[in-house]
Structure formats: C-alpha cells, structure tokens
Amino acid sequence: AASGKTGSSAQLDVPGISKIIAVASGKGGVGKSTTSVNLALALSELGLRVGLLDADIYGPSIPKLMGVSGKPEVLEGRVMKPMEAYGIKLMSIGFLVDEETAMIWRGPMVTSALNQMLREVAWGELDVLVVDMPPGTGDVQLTMAQKVPLTGSVIVSTPQDLALLDARRGTAMFQKVSIPVIGIIENMSHFICPDCGSRHEIFGHGGAREEAQKLQVPFLGEIPLTMELRVQSDQGRPVVIAHPEGAVAQAYLTIAEHI
C-alpha cells in the first residue's frame, strides 16, 4: 500500500545543518508564523546557531515579523547569502519575488522555490533551521513534509475545537510521512487583562493539552493572547527580543528547551 513516503533522494540532508524543525498548523491565523519567529529567537537565546526558512510561499510573513526587507546578495554560482536579523539567518520567498508572483504558482514551482531556498542558500553551520510551513494539511504541505529532510515538527493550535480538529490532521500528516511530532503548542491560550490583571479564557483553555494527550504527542506549552505580542510582531521586533524578561518570552524559552 502507498505509505506516502518518498525515496531517499528527495530527503538528502542539507550539509552543515544539524536539525530541521517544521512549525506547522492545521489552518491559518492561529499564530504559526509568530511562533516560528519567537521560537527561533528563543533557540538562539539558548546559544544555538539558528536559521529561519519561510516556507509559507503563498503568504510569507517572516520578512515583516523580523523587520527585514531587501534582496539577498547572490554569491558564487546561484548561491544566495541569507538575510540576517537579531543574529538569525533568514530566507523567504518574500525577499525574492513580489507577493502577486508567488500567489499564482502551482505545485511544481512552489517545490522548486522551496528547494532553492533550502539548498542554494549559504546557511553555513546551523544547529537548527526552523521552517515556517504553509498553513493547512493539503498537497503542498504534504509534498513539503516529504521534500524537506525534517528532523521533527511542532504543531501550533488555538484552544478552539475547530483548530484542534485541524491540529489533529496536521499531526496525522507528519505521522503519515514518518516525521516525529515533537509536540503541540497552544497559542492564544488565555488573556490576562492589562487593566485588572484577571485571566480570561477567550477561546476556552487546555484543549491543546488534552488533544496532545489523546494523540500521544508531548504538550510543549502555552502562549497567552497578549497585545504586546501582536504589537511587537507588527513592528518587526518580536517579543523575545523586545521584552526578554517578560512572561511571554520566558514561555517561548521554556518551549525552546524541549525542542
């Protein structure tokens, strides 16, 4: 029976990169890119050499989140020098073509762009490359999960039932291609009112923890819904950099220690 696995040729390691971790979500808008960026920064805070690859070809947001624009320098051959911000090496389709161009690409173009960003970039020695996956569990995502030699995946979900259902599909997708699911993160887990300090569970709470238990994958932690996170993201100065001592940055650091 078809297992969904590709041959080993598609899964060649990338020289110099020790671990490649996908950050995925069952659907858009749950905070996957925000999580990718802050996790990458937290891993860097832990002393690791970190790269961040924006594989969200149809909606790249890493350039904005990391406050970087411009075009990568082309080195010898076709190899590109990665962009850099806050000590992290970056590559995104957003640096290469305008958004409308990538929007109309079909599967094969997406795959070749991804390959180029992975293998024709002078990443140098990296302890970990964080890959911000496109949201969802369709063909594009499945192909990517097969083409990129992933060490493991992290699934981001909000506590709502629907998001959790999608997270379950995400877990199943990685399991289908035999990529270990490192764990699930609950984003927008709860809201602490900045005025009164009380806690509000806007989308419910704890759903992702229960879901992780059911799926028998680790629960990595919860990130609250905060104004600070959204504002810092919009300014291209992620919260782990802007407020490293704060509770949110600390939550990302704790998660990073388990990756």
Binding residues for ATP: 26-33
Give the residue with the Cβ less far from ligand ADP, 125 or 161: 161
User: Quick one: tokens of 15?
Assistant: 């020289």
What does the alpha-carbon distance between residue 62 and residue 50 come to, in Å, rounded to a whole number? 14
Give the residue with the Cβ less far from ligand ADP, 152 or 224: 224
Least Cβ distance, residue 228 to ligand ADP (angstroms): 8
The contact set with ligand ADP (CB under 6 A) reads 25, 28-34, 61, 135, 187-188, 223, 225-226, 229-230, 233
Give the residue with the Cβ less far from ligand ADP, 33 or 111: 33
Least Cβ distance, residue 122 to ligand ADP (angstroms): 27
Least Cβ distance, residue 74 to ligand ADP (angstroms): 28
What does the alpha-carbon distance between residue 157 and residue 170 come to, in Å, rounded to a whole number? 10
What does the alpha-carbon distance between residue 124 and residue 15 come to, in Å, rounded to a whole number? 8
H/E element, 181: strand 181-192
Tell me which residue has tokens 């984003």.
187
> What radius of gyration, in Å, describes the C-alpha atoms of the chain?
18
Q: Give how far Cα 16 sits from Cα of 51, 84, 127, Å.
A: 11, 17, 8
DSSP 107-132: HHHHHHHHHHHHHSB---SEEEEEEE
Least Cβ distance, residue 34 to ligand ADP (angstroms): 3
Residue 19: strand pairing partners: 128
What does the alpha-carbon distance between residue 255 and residue 177 come to, in Å, rounded to a whole number? 24
Contact 29, 156 (CB under 8 A): no
For ligand ADP, the nearest residue by Cβ is: 31
Give the residue with the Cβ less far from ligand ADP, 36 or 146: 36
Binding residues: 26-33
Least Cβ distance, residue 254 to ligand ADP (angstroms): 15
Give the residue with the Cβ less far from ligand ADP, 81 or 237: 237
